[in-house]
């Protein structure tokens, strides 16, 4: 089984609700086996481990409570990017009890630095109400080689897409519209003994925003968030590829989103 097949199996398993039928139970067992296989793969520059962490995070939110999972998977200094800017996790969830039903989510694209010290997941989410949207989570490799999140932002689609139905899935499965597969990408490693130059990319839009960033230890991946006075929020992911800096992906949340 290829890594891509394993990732697809994990994505499917992570999106199922509580299993009741024999088929559903078998699918869940396959997803968990795939996740265990990914956990045994090398930890450096491996998007599979990041995907496994994000999916395990979502499963814990479903099974043990949304804010319980957010705390368990948070790195020191983790922030949630709300309408007014990034807020420390504890401040963001202070006084909030776990909702009866957690938000469901799964990653679709993973960007990793060459050394694996920094990674980003772009994915799809679904609210208990059924509304869907997208999210970005930044992951940091810990001293014990696990991944924990340090930044999270999400927003609902506007307008909402039409429901997607797959007749081959169990009747009570929850599939987030727009989620088809998981793609993992790794930045190029610098030549032995060479250092990666700083990114020359300069994106400007409107008045100078409040800005924050994370850069991988080897300098091959950079994530920047921006907060504009009007409430618009942006995330820009840059990576070192083909001997030059490129924009890997961007995410924007309009004011009020």
| Single pTM value for the model | 0.78
- 203 is a domain residue: no
Written as six digits, the tokens of 44 are 């450096």
CA distance 81 to 27: 34
Chain center to CA of 122: 5
pLDDT of residue 223: 97
pLDDT score, position 195: 87
Q: Can you give the pLDDT at residue 203?
A: 77
Q: What is the CATH number of the domain that holds 63?
A: 3.10.450.50
**Within 13 Å and on the Cβ side, how many CA atoms surround 195?**
4
pLDDT score of 192: 81
pLDDT for 218-252, tens place per residue?
999 999 999 998 899 999 999 999 999 999 999 99
Asked whether residue 90 is assigned to any structural domain, the reply reads yes
Residue 239 is assigned to a structural domain of this protein: no
Spans in the chain with pLDDT lower than 50: 1-20, 34, 37-43, 172-175, 177-179
d(CA 194, CA 210): 32
Residue 147: which domain range? 3-186
- What pLDDT score does 62 carry? 96
Q: How far apart are CA 220 and CA 235, in angstroms?
A: 17
- Per the structure, how many domains does the chain have? 1
pLDDT of the residue at 255: 87
Domain membership flag for residue 194: no
Instruction: Judge whether 161 lies within some domain.
Output: yes
Whether 64 is covered by a domain: the verdict is yes
Residue 53 lies in a domain: yes
In the prediction, which pLDDT does 201 show? Answer: 85
Does 223 fall in a domain? no
């Amino acid at each position: 089984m290829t890594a891509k097949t394993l990732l697809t199996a994990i994505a499917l398993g992570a999106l199922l609700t509580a299993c009741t039928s024999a088929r559903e139970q078998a699918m869940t067992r396959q997803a968990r086996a795939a996740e265990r296989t990914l956990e045994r793969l090398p930890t450096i520059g491996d998007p599979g481990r990041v995907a496994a962490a994000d999916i395990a995070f979502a499963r814990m939110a479903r099974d043990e409570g949304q804010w319980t999972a957010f705390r368990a998977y948070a790195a020191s200094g983790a922030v949630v990017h709300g309408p007014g800017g990034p807020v420390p996790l504890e401040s963001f969830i202070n006084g909030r009890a776990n909702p009866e039903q957690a938000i469901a989510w799964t990653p679709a694209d993973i960007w990793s630095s060459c050394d694996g010290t920094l990674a980003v997941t772009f994915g799809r989410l679904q609210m208990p109400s059924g509304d869907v949207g997208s999210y970005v989570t930044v992951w940091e490799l810990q001293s014990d080689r696990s991944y924990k999140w340090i930044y999270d932002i999400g927003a609902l689609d506007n307008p909402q897409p039409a429901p997607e139905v797959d007749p081959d899935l169990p009747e009570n499965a929850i599939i987030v519209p727009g989620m088809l597969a998981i793609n993992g990408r790794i930045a190029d490693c610098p030549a032995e003994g060479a250092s990666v130059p700083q990114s020359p990319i300069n994106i400007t839009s409107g008045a100078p925003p409040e800005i924050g960033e994370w850069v991988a230890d080897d300098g091959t991946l950079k994530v920047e968030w921006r907060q504009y006075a009007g409430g618009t929020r942006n995330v820009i992911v840059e990576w070192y590829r083909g001997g030059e800096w490129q924009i890997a992906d961007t995410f924007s949340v309009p004011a009020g989103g």
